[in-house]
Amino acid sequence: MCSINLIYGPLSSSTTLKSSIKKMAQETTHRGPDSTNYIRDKNLVLAINRLQIVGGLKGQQPILDEKRNLILMCNGEIFNYKELKTKYLKFHRFTTTSDVEVILHMYEEFGEKCINYLEGQFAFALYNKSKQQIIIARDQYGILPLFYSIHNDFFIASSEIKAIVKSDIFKNIEFDEMGLAETILFYGPIRPRTTFKNINQHIVK
């Protein structure tokens, strides 16, 4: 179990970005007690709390590609990573021993369709610097959590709602009455709704 946290916001908000990502990482330390790492690229900040399972010390995240154009953070496991490496990624250079690095190189090969080749339980965020594009995705069953919000020109995502709430970006947190009702009736709110207004669950497609 790990946690991924990211914020994309205006360049003028560098202080808010820095303080918020630290609060989010601190709030989710229990999910990844082995290490906490940060990366910043202009108006994007990323933080991951990692629990070392596959790859050990040689599986640190975030993971960058050879050209340092792509940045990947992933919570979870890719069950068929060995098969993917053998079948599609023979000519790629791997910088870690982590199973999740295959996501980055599969994206290089197949773009956003790489998700169709992955078998496992995972939630990841991938940033393409040249395209200024953020991709967030979950496994087809939605086993691992991933929440996001677009609020006051900020895009913010995390493995836990409370990390988003703890950031400096949200000033007035409001409960979603329909989300609360669905929680009582159905054990949890129906995606993409959560129990908080303007905070959504990622929809598995």
Q: Give the tens place of pLDDT for each residue, 96-105.
A: 888 999 999 9
| Residues 193 and 179: beta-carbon distance below 8 Å | yes
pLDDT given at position 37: 93
Cα four-point dihedral sign 33, 38, 43, 44: negative
Same domain, 103 and 135: yes
H or E element, residue 84: helix 81-88
CA distance 56 to 138: 23
Model pLDDT for residues 109-143, shown as the tens digit of each residue: 999 999 999 999 999 999 999 999 999 999 988 89
- Show which residues are catalytic: 2
Q: What is the mean pLDDT of the chain?
A: 91
pTM (two decimals): 0.90
Do 118 and 143 have their domain in common? Answer: yes
Angle at 76 between CA 75 and CA 77, to 5 degrees: 140
pLDDT at 54 over 70: no
94 plus 186 within the same structural domain: no
Helix axes 81-88, 101-110, angle to 10 degrees: 40
Instruction: Report the number of distinct structural domains present in the chain.
Output: 2
What's the pLDDT at 55?
55
Q: What angle do CA 176, 179, 182 make, to 5 degrees?
A: 155
Residues 128 and 196 in one domain: no
Lowest mean pLDDT: which of 35-39, 192-196, 201-205? 201-205
The whole-angstrom separation of Cα 152 and Cα 172 is: 12
Q: Are residues 102 and 188 in the same domain?
A: no
DSSP code for 152: T
Domain that holds residue 184: 174-205
Q: How far, in Å, are 22, 54, 99, 124 from residue 57 at the CA level?
A: 22, 9, 13, 20
Say whether both 130 and 195 belong to one domain: no
- Give me the pLDDT at residue 53, please: 67
Q: Which residues contact 10 (CB under 8 A, 6 or more apart)?
A: 43, 153, 154
pLDDT digit string, tens, across residues 144-179: 999 999 988 999 999 999 999 999 888 788 999 999
Which pLDDT value is given to residue 13?
84
